[in-house]
A and B are shown apart, each in its own frame.
Chain A
């Protein structure tokens, strides 16, 4: 069974702090996506990473795909209350028939 493990499960920090959340697996993935889900809404895609070692930036969010394509991280600089939400990673394997494998998410709360 392919699993994506996200850590930490829960994180509560003050506005202005930096944070990093992780998505790890023992399997190699062809691509990995990060989503943010707010209460009462569906997940919204933030980024897709494809190449090992790839780094993508989205304003204060920096996404990295591990060299071996088994792990990824999301770093948020100077977190703001608007960053609050559930951050989910999802990955696609070579033979998954386009089916995404999802992590359980990191619930992030940014306190003003």
Chain B
């Protein structure tokens, strides 16, 4: 079974430039997550999709970040314009279905991430 694919693996841009990341989740997984992981910290959820609808985007900086999941499969995350503090690894994860609230959570499978450096 193929895992979560992400591209590019690395990206270096200057501040105020734009950048886009792509994620292809595991086939059949309904839920897709984008995380931001700053060096020395745990992942921080940016946005969660259930099929092609947004479940949670409360921590997405909507003035500069946008994400979409067309047709409920692949997803793109865009930053426009980038700031120095956006330097981080951007992780995509997918799960078959959301977990039962209060009981357990379905396994999230992570991609290798895209390491973004903003100069």
Contacts and interface: CB of A to CB of B under 8 A. Distances in A.
Interface stretch (B13-21, B64-72, B78-86, B109-117): B109-117
Contacts of A27: none
A102 B44 CA distance: 7
Interface in A25-40: 30-31, 33, 40
Interface string B45-58: 10010000001100
- Majority secondary structure of chain B interface residues (helix, strand, loop or mixed): loop
B4 A42 contact: yes
Contacts, number: 70
Nearest to A88: B42
Contact of A44 (B44, B98, B104, B110): B110
Interface residues of B, number: 27
B99 A98 contact: yes
Q: Return the 10 tightest CB-CB contacts between A and B, nearest first.
A: A42-B110, A102-B42, A98-B98, A94-B102, A30-B102, A92-B105, A31-B104, A104-B42, A104-B41, A42-B91
